[in-house]
Structure 1
Amino acid sequence: MAPVHGSNTSLVFYFSNTNCSSSGTSVLSCIHPSYIAAGVITVVSCLLGIPTNILMIVKLSSHLRGSSMSKRLFFNLALSDLLSLFCLLAAGVIFATRPRLTHELCQLLFYIFFFCITSSSNILMLISIQRYYQILHHTKWDKVTRTWQRVLLFTVWMLGGLLPLPLVLSLTDGKKGDEPSNRLSCRNKLITPQAEVVYMVIIISCQLVVLFFYVQLVRGVKKVQKSNKQKQKINKLFSRILAVSLIDFLPLLARIVAIAAHSTSSKMLSDVSKNLTFIECFYFLNHCLNPLLYFFASRHQLRDRGKKRKIFLMALNENS
């Protein structure tokens, strides 16, 4: 699951707080290298993630009726990832142009952003559970009817809407030094550390669930009576997913450091958090990796199976 990106650590806040003089000084020279790296990661995530998720939605949209649970999960994952990236672009524009917005409107914008991120993470958790039971305990998964599948999808989105509420309700006006910040700027809104800690506990718990089921899945596949080639392909795919899930803990750790720095006002922790800013932005790369890891990799495997089946049938026809 993704790290929570509070308003005080959003990339656009970092760029807006730089003090660059206009007397021939390069803008890049005034920005911390970690912020530049974070900006590059964010832009790359949007450039790659938006088209791949749109392609995934287009591919699946015409086959959703009567489709399997896996396809519906992939469709919902692509939708939540796409919305998250669009929210990221909108946030960049809003914080760069500094529009005068009311506190309630800022809360709404933050809520939409966290809703998309949380829903994406919840769907990934449901996918890990669904794959585990579908592959290793298919008899149990077959008992899950279409109605219960719809209930599971609805629950995922409902939780995505409920979990960000404490964060949004805790949104307050930040301060710069001893002067109060501009109340009509979303850029200066802060999320209380207490609300972030609660949210982080939930997010880490979800991430541990994802890791648990994928580890169990990789172990279980090794015990299944299948050919070595099939085992190698399945293990290779799920090992990649497992590796990405493990990498997800890096942004979580960076976020924990940022919360600690904000809570204690420690200069050392603040400097460390500043240097780890680009690691927090690794989460956005997931939005462009998810289609490749889940949907297109599965299509590639199915295409290979189809080719092998055709070759086998051609060999039978020739021998007959």
Structure 2
Amino acid sequence: MTITTTSGNETIVDSTASTTMGALILGLVFLLGLPGNIFVMWSILARARKQNITTLLILNLAIADGSLMALTPFFIIYLVLKTWMFGNVMCKVLFYLCLLNMYASIYLITIMSLYRVLAIRWPHKVRIVTGQKTVMRALGVMWVLVMVASIPAMIYRKKTEVSTRLVCDSFHDTKKDVMIQYMLELVIGFCIPYSIIVISYIGILRRIQQTRFGRRVRSEKLILAIVVTFCVFWLPYHVINMVQVRDTWLSILHSKLTVAAAFAFISSCANPVLYFFAGKSYIRREGMEFMARLFERTGLDSATRKTHNMQTFCRLYCDYTGDNSNTVRKCIDFCYLT
């Protein structure tokens, strides 16, 4: 992840307007995001009466986002003082953790989307492939993979002195190294997961249109809002990263890099806000436990179980009443459609 970049003897912290705006955005993100994500974790761990796959994924997402929020004071100090005062090791570690959070967040959302499309399109099979142990293993593998994928941030990032200022920036030996780093971030952190997410939601929306009941539309709107929010806040960062590979554009984008990077941080504090508005109807009845009740209702586990039982009954009825194979087949198709 890049918050600073150098062009000649200039650094991005030389721009007072961009550093001031970046510090203000990060300050707001910290004030909203850290307590918000802590509240989400508390709601799931301490107040949720039952745990399901969706709450487990949301818990991991809150841990990833909350961890990033805990790092923002370092970047606020960097932008305010316009010099990096935390040493070379912290320079590498902090930006490594930022990239790790980006990958973890998007792949948690990807897993969430895949789980929901399985639960909605194939509810009679989802329990076989998405058991609690299977999902835990998938999450473990995901965390290991994002840790490995974030290593380039530690390789290219270092503290150095530019124009009497200490900066923490990415430095590359060749133009090819620049392309490799930013292409990896774009492909691994955006193109691949978002392709999976878009395909998943096309399947979800088609299924909802085919069904006769809209009970799940509300929960799908919440997850879709999380997906869209992540895209809106992170897309400018990826676009600028790719454009800045061309030296001729650096002077134009120079003052915008801090703001774009700080803007991306908003995605990590936006989810608790989305949960609040999605669960506001529970506040009067549930009080401080409103978010726990929201997550319980958002989970597909119980709904999937009920759907599976109804489809089993429907199929038995088809076998009993059908007078020929074509009629039975059409009846069974209707069961799994509704």
Deviation of the 1:271 alpha carbon: 1.2
Seen in structure 2, the aligned counterparts of structure 1 residues 299 and 70 have a Cα distance that, compared at 3 Å, is farther
Deviations 1:40-80 (A, max 9, x none): 33222222111211111111112679621111111111111
Gaps of at least 5 residues in structure 2 are 173-177, 283-292, 298-338
Seen in structure 2, the aligned counterparts of structure 1 residues 44 and 77 have a Cα distance that, compared at 3 Å, is same
Residue in structure 2 matched with residue 130 of structure 1 by the alignment: 115
Seen in structure 2, the aligned counterparts of structure 1 residues 160 and 151 have a Cα distance that, compared at 3 Å, is same
Seen in structure 2, the aligned counterparts of structure 1 residues 208 and 106 have a Cα distance that, compared at 3 Å, is same
Contact 2:92–2:157, Cα closer than 8 Å, also in 1: yes
For 1:76-225, list aligned pairs within 5 A: 76-93=60-77, 96=80, 98=83, 101-143=86-128, 144-172=130-158, 176=162, 185=166, 187-192=167-172, 193=178, 194-204=180-190, 205-225=192-212
1:286 is aligned to 2:271: no
Deviation of the 1:173 alpha carbon: 5.2
Name the amino acid aligned to 2:12.
Answer: Y
Q: Distance in 1 between matches of 2:84 and 2:221?
A: 48
Deviations 1:90-125 (A, max 9, x none): 333356565655534432233233223322222122
Deviation of the 1:242 alpha carbon: 4.8
**Percent identity of the aligned residues?**
18
Deviation of the 1:273 alpha carbon: 4.8
TM-score by length of 1: 0.71
Contact 1:107–1:171, Cα closer than 8 Å, also in 2: yes
Residue in structure 1 matched with residue 51 of structure 2 by the alignment: 67
Name the amino acid aligned to 2:235.
Answer: F
Contact 1:222–1:231, Cα closer than 8 Å, also in 2: no
TM-score by length of 2: 0.68
Deviation of the 1:141 alpha carbon: 1.9
Q: Distance in 2 between matches of 1:175 and 1:99?
A: 9
Which of 247, 251, 274 is residue 265 of structure 1 equivalent to? 247
Contact 1:250–1:279, Cα closer than 8 Å, also in 2: yes
Seen in structure 2, the aligned counterparts of structure 1 residues 36 and 94 have a Cα distance that, compared at 3 Å, is closer
Q: Distance in 2 between matches of 1:279 and 1:145?
A: 39
Q: Distance in 1 between matches of 2:235 and 2:97?
A: 23
Name the amino acid aligned to 1:68.
Answer: N
Aligned partner of residue 271 in structure 1, secondary structure = helix
Deviations 1:247-297 (A, max 9, x none): 242332233223x2xxx432x443135346534433211112223445873
Matched residues, number? 273
Gaps of at least 5 residues in structure 1 are 19-30, 307-320
Where in structure 1 do 4 or more consecutive aligned residues deviate above 4 Å? 63-66, 94-102, 172-175, 298-303
Q: Distance in 1 between matches of 2:40 and 2:51?
A: 15
Deviation of the 1:81 alpha carbon: 0.4
Seen in structure 2, the aligned counterparts of structure 1 residues 105 and 233 have a Cα distance that, compared at 3 Å, is closer
Q: Distance in 1 between matches of 2:228 and 2:103?
A: 20
